[in-house]
Amino acid sequence: MSETILELKDVAVFQKESLVLNNISLDIKKGEFVYLIGKTGSGKSSFMKTLYGDLPLRKGTGHIVDFDLTELKEKDIPFLRRKLGIVFQDFKLLPDRNIYNNLLFVLKATGWKDQDLIDKKIKEVLEKVGMKTKGFKFPHQVSGGEQQRIAIGRALLNDPELILADEPTGNLDPQTSVEVMKVLQDINKAGRTILMATHDYALILKFPSKTLKLDGNRVFEVIQRAG
């Protein structure tokens, strides 16, 4: 049996006081690539925020990478996030420093001290996302697709057990989206578990995988036929 990385039972997701999603039960196993699809406004981002501790889990039970979301305290959130790699639609790179220093900032913030290990790690993740020669550039000097590759590299820095990608291709043109998807696919093939929220159906057709659909406050698994 594969190990379960994420398990939710009868979960409700709230944004402030309003109920966004209800009765969600799902489990994601180690090594899976899972899409979360739904129209804009269907609650994908609120769902993701609940998983990384931005919104509290107030109803139901949830376990993610050995953390109990129901019991999650403010002080646990940084530790939870170290075990998750989070990729956002708008990259969230720091504009005032180059790519190397963007990655350095994350490692320093998560307690890395040894400069040799830091250099090695940054080199390794930039290579994985095909950006190894771009470390000296600033975010505004590279394309949107390259910025997203760097953001994926940043998400890999602490060897996460699960990557949460929230509309990672949302700001990219179709060609660049495919390139970014290939990077995510390679990372998944290397054994990482990925949950990706998207409304880009073309990508799902091109790279079919297990798909969960948000619709009318609920989550359904969509059965996809290969072929």
For position 191, which CATH number holds? Answer: 3.40.50.300
Structural contact between residues 206 and 17, judged by C-beta atoms closer than 8 angstroms: no
The first and second tokens of residue 220, run together, are: 């359904």
Structural contact between residues 167 and 198, judged by C-beta atoms closer than 8 angstroms: yes
Count of other CB atoms within 10 angstroms of residue 151? 24
Please name which of 66, 70, 58, 59 lies closest in space to residue 82, comparing C-alpha atoms. Answer: 66
Q: Residue 133 domain-assigned?
A: no
Task: Round to whole Å and give the CA distance between 7 and 171.
Answer: 29
Give domain status of residue 43, yes or no: yes
Here the tokens at position 157 are: 């820095």
Band (38; pLDDT cuts 50, 70, 90):
confident
- Residues of the domain holding 63: 4-92+143-222
pLDDT band at 227 (very low <50, low <70, confident <90, very high): very low
The DSSP letter of residue 31 is T
What tokens were used for 51? 């998983």
Would residue 113 count as lying in a domain? Answer: no
| Residue 135, pLDDT score | 96
Using CA atoms of 84, 85, 87, 88 in order, give the dihedral in degrees to the nearest 10: 40
- The answer to the question of residue 161 being in a domain is yes
Per-residue model confidence (pLDDT) at position 166: 93
Type of residue numbered 159? D
Is 137 inside any structural domain? Answer: no
- pLDDT for 139 equals 96
What does 100-140 look like in DSSP terms, one character per residue?
HHHHHHHHHHTT---HHHHHHHHHHHHHHTT-TT-TTS-GG
Averaged pLDDT score across all residues of the chain: 92
pLDDT, tens digit, 9 for 90 and up, residues 113-159: 999 999 999 999 999 999 999 999 999 999 999 999 999 999 999 99
Q: How far is CA 76 from CA 15, 37, 62, in A?
A: 21, 29, 15
Q: What are phi and psi of 164, to 5 degrees?
A: -105, 115
The rounded distance, in Å, linking the Cα atoms of 6 and 26 is: 8
- How many domains is the chain partitioned into structurally? 1
pLDDT tens-digit map of 169-218: 999 999 999 999 999 999 999 999 999 999 888 999 999 999 999 887 88
Predicted pLDDT at 169: 93
Look at residue 156 and give its three-state secondary structure.
helix
CA distances from 221 to 13, 37, 210 (A): 18, 10, 8
Has residue 138 been placed in a domain?
no
Q: For the CA atoms of 132, 151, 189, 213, what is the dihedral angle to 10 degrees? A: -160
Residue 8 lies in a domain: yes
In a domain, 122, yes or no: no
